[in-house]
């Protein structure tokens, strides 16, 4: 579902899409990139652009295909060093002015391979927001655990001292307790 609170908006009215289709090239402004970077938790977003083709898909539907490309400044989860990831996300989404019917049941919605087709995105107020669509695909394409090439997590393993064991104190008590009790080999004295 397209986020209506997206910082980048580039709307196209469905009425303005000719029968032969429409092509749009988009570049986010510096202010839009800064706002998206903040929203996505990025260090920076020096480049964000999209290329979309909009065509009529019958039944009042519009099919949007294209690519979202970006340079995303992230932080390596292993070394904590800055890194830049290049994203190139393919887009293929259908928009509809009609509200999709409620799902009748999971068994009917699933295809043979277990994957159900996504319902169409809504056309809101007769327009499609390509900026919000590009922002959504950027977010979906971000690596949640970015790593620099060759970065490997190597845990620090400290030498284990038996005295530091959590049950070492119990062992010490046991040893003190055994020393305090007389052993079985001790002699017994006969009573008077």
Q: What's the CA angle centered on 65, arms 26 and 121, to 5 degrees? A: 95
Taking a C-beta distance cutoff of 8 angstroms, is the pair 163, 171 a contact?
A: no
| 114 in any annotated domain | yes
Residue 147: inside a domain, yes or no?
A: no
Residue 63's pLDDT is what? 97
Residue 182, in any domain of the structure = no
User: Mean pLDDT across the stretch 25-33?
Assistant: 97
Give the model's confidence band at 54: pLDDT under 50 very low, under 70 low, under 90 confident, else very high. very high
- In the chain the first and final C-alpha atoms are separated, in Å, by 97
Confidence band, pLDDT 50/70/90 cuts, at residue 97: confident
pLDDT, residue 37, reads 96
Cβ atoms < 10 Å from Cβ of 21: 13
Q: Is the confidence at residue 34, as pLDDT, over 80?
A: yes
Q: Which strand (E) or helix (H) includes residue 63?
A: strand 61-75
Instruction: List pLDDT tens digits, range 105-132.
Output: 454 444 555 566 788 999 999 999 999 9
Which token pair is 70? 């970006």
Domain count, the chain: 1
Asked if the structure places residue 111 within a domain, the reply is yes
Predicted pLDDT at 100: 57
pLDDT in tens, 125-169: 999 999 999 999 999 999 999 888 877 777 777 676 766 767 767
pLDDT at 109: 47
Segment 64-73, tens digit of pLDDT: 999 999 999 9
In 10 A of CB 23, how many CB atoms? 10
In the prediction, which pLDDT does 157 show? 75
Contact 78, 49 (CB under 8 A): no
Confidence of residue 2 (pLDDT cuts 50, 70, 90): low
The CA-CA-CA angle for residues 52, 54, 55, to 5°, reads 150
Residue 52 domain-assigned? Answer: yes
Answer yes or no: is 85 within a domain: yes
- Is 70 a member of any domain? yes
Which one, of 1, 2, 32, 30, lies nearest residue 130 by Cα? 2
**Confidence (pLDDT) at 103:** 54
Structural domain includes residue 163: no
CA-CA-CA-CA torsion sign (178, 179, 181, 185) = positive
- Distance between CA 129 and CA 141 in Å, rounded? 19
Instruction: Tell me what pLDDT residue 159 has.
Output: 72
Farthest CA pair distance, the chain: 121
Beta pairing partners, 49:
27, 69
Confidence of residue 82 (pLDDT cuts 50, 70, 90): very high
**Stretch 37-65: mean pLDDT:** 95
Domain that holds residue 38: 11-141
């Amino acid at each position: 579902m397209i986020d209506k609170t997206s910082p980048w908006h580039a709307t196209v009215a469905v009425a303005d899409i000719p029968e032969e289709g429409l092509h749009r090239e988009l570049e986010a402004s510096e202010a839009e990139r800064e706002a998206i970077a903040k929203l996505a938790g990025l260090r920076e977003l020096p480049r964000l652009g999209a290329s979309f083709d909009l065509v009529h898909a019958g039944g009042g539907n519009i099919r949007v295909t294209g690519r979202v490309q970006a340079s995303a400044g992230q932080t390596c989860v292993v070394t904590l060093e800055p890194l830049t990831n290049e994203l190139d996300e393919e887009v293929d989404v259908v928009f509809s002015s009609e509200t999709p019917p409620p799902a009748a049941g999971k068994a009917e919605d699933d295809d043979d391979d277990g994957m159900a087709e996504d319902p169409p995105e809504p056309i809101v107020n007769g327009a499609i927001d390509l900026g919000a669509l590009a922002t959504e695909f950027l977010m979906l394409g971000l690596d949640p655990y970015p790593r620099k090439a060759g970065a490997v997590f190597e845990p620090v393993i400290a030498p284990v001292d038996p005295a530091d064991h959590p049950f070492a104190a119990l062992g010490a008590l046991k040893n003190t307790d055994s020393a305090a009790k007389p052993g079985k080999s001790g002699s017994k004295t006969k009573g008077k």
